[in-house]
Amino acid sequence: MNQELACLRRQGIKNNFQKGFTMMELLIVMGLVASVAMIGVVSVSRIKKSEDIATVAASVVNVLEEAHAKSLTGEKDRAWKVVMNAEAVTLQTEDGMGMESYNLPEEYMLVGPLAEVVFGRVDGRVLGCEAGCMYEVRELYGSLIYQIQILYSGAIEY
């Protein structure tokens, strides 16, 4: 092998066989890897935020469904309502006795047409919401919105 290289050198042909990578090749590969990693971090962050807002909406729906069920079963022989404001949802009897409250995390707020969702005692229908009511759980400092629809029949869709 050494004799072949010596022969090639005498003929003016340089040895172009390199071992390893140049600095430029390494920098390009590192840049590509960093770009792909950054895209992955952003995607995971968005998925996490979507899961968080869905969890908050599910908690609000649980309180609404509990009030609807209590009205239908006639618990305490009263209609049940859910008092809703931007920061909290509270399950109460029609005479205002608080039973259960869920406070929304600070980064979310609840927006809707009625301050109180009252479920009728006999049929569980939503009083004052004949066309159905749409509520939204919104991210305060972002663009995520999760919608909850309460139908006149008392059914809840989200």
Residue 79 falls inside a structural domain: yes
147: containing domain:
23-157
**Quick one: pLDDT at residue 111?**
92
Residue 7 falls inside a structural domain: no
Asked whether residue 9 carries a pLDDT value surpassing 90, the answer given is no
Residue 4 falls inside a structural domain: no
Strands (E), the chain: 80-84, 88-93, 98-103, 108-111, 116-119, 126-127, 133-139, 145-150, 156-157
**Quick one: pLDDT at residue 129?**
83
pLDDT per position as a tens digit, 40-60: 998 998 899 889 999 999 999
Residue 18 falls inside a structural domain: no
Asked whether residue 19 carries a pLDDT value surpassing 80, the answer given is no
Cβ atoms of 109 and 116 closer than 8 Å: no
Residue 61 falls inside a structural domain: yes
Quickly count: other Cβ atoms within 10 Å of residue 154's Cβ: 21
Give, as one character, the DSSP assignment of residue 104. P
Residue 153 falls inside a structural domain: yes
**Quick one: pLDDT at residue 2?**
62
What is the pTM (predicted TM-score) of this model?
0.75
Q: What's the mean pLDDT in 10-32?
A: 78
CATH code for position 107: 3.55.40.10
pLDDT per position as a tens digit, 74-120: 887 888 899 998 899 999 887 877 778 899 999 999 999 888 898 98
Q: What domain count does the chain have?
A: 1
Residue 3 falls inside a structural domain: no
Q: What's the mean pLDDT in 16-33?
A: 85
Residue 147 falls inside a structural domain: yes
